[in-house]
């Protein structure tokens, strides 16, 4: 299944996603909204398949790639949005949903933005999302497929 998703998404959706985020964001404006949506959905499906099959790899870098793709998609659909704000906000949201850890999500989003003024905006954006995910069970299964929490 992962091979099929990789063939569908192309080279940017393969591997953990750290180097691919660099390539994705460095060529701003060269991706169509359809391509960005494909990247985000394929990587999200690959992350879900890998996690549900017990793959031991991490979820942080794939979530950063998914958030970057969604942020660039939002910016492509609404060009008035600053790309740094779109990407950092989307990364914050996806990481918060994935890890349930507000500080990691906040600082990762802020680092991707590249300017410190965005931290205040991200703090405001993260509060309602953090309140929603706090206390929710982690999306983890044991070796028999039962929820851990």
CB 76 within 8 A of CB 107: no
- Sign, CA dihedral 46-97-73-109, equals negative
- Please tell me the distance from the alpha carbon of residue 122 to that of residue 69, in angstroms, as a whole number: 18
The secondary element (H helix, E strand) that includes residue 15 is: none
Q: What is the pLDDT along the chain (149 residues), one digit of tens a residue?
A: 877 888 877 777 777 777 787 777 787 778 888 888 988 888 888 888 877 777 767 778 888 888 889 999 999 899 898 888 888 888 888 888 887 777 888 888 888 887 778 888 888 888 887 777 776 666 566 667 666 65
Give CA 112 to chain center in angstroms: 12
- Please tell me the distance from the alpha carbon of residue 111 to that of residue 5, in angstroms, as a whole number: 29
Assigned token pair, 139: 């999306």
pTM of the complete model beyond 0.75:
yes
User: What is the chain's length?
Assistant: 149
- Please tell me the distance from the alpha carbon of residue 80 to that of residue 33, in angstroms, as a whole number: 15
């Amino acid at each position: 299944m992962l091979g099929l998703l990789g063939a569908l998404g192309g080279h940017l959706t393969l591997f953990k996603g750290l180097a691919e985020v660099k390539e994705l964001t460095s060529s701003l404006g060269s991706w169509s909204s359809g391509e960005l949506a494909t990247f985000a959905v394929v990587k999200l499906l690959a992350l879900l398949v890998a996690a549900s099959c017990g793959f031991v790899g991490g979820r942080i870098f794939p979530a950063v790639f998914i958030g970057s793709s969604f942020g660039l998609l939002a910016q492509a659909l609404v060009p008035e949005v600053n790309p740094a704000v779109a990407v950092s906000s989307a990364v914050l949201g996806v990481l918060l949903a994935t890890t349930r850890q507000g500080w990691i999500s906040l600082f990762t989003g802020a680092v991707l933005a590249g300017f410190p003024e965005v931290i205040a905006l991200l703090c405001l954006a993260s509060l309602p999302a953090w309140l929603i995910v706090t206390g929710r069970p982690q999306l983890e299964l044991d070796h028999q497929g039962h929820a851990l929490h």
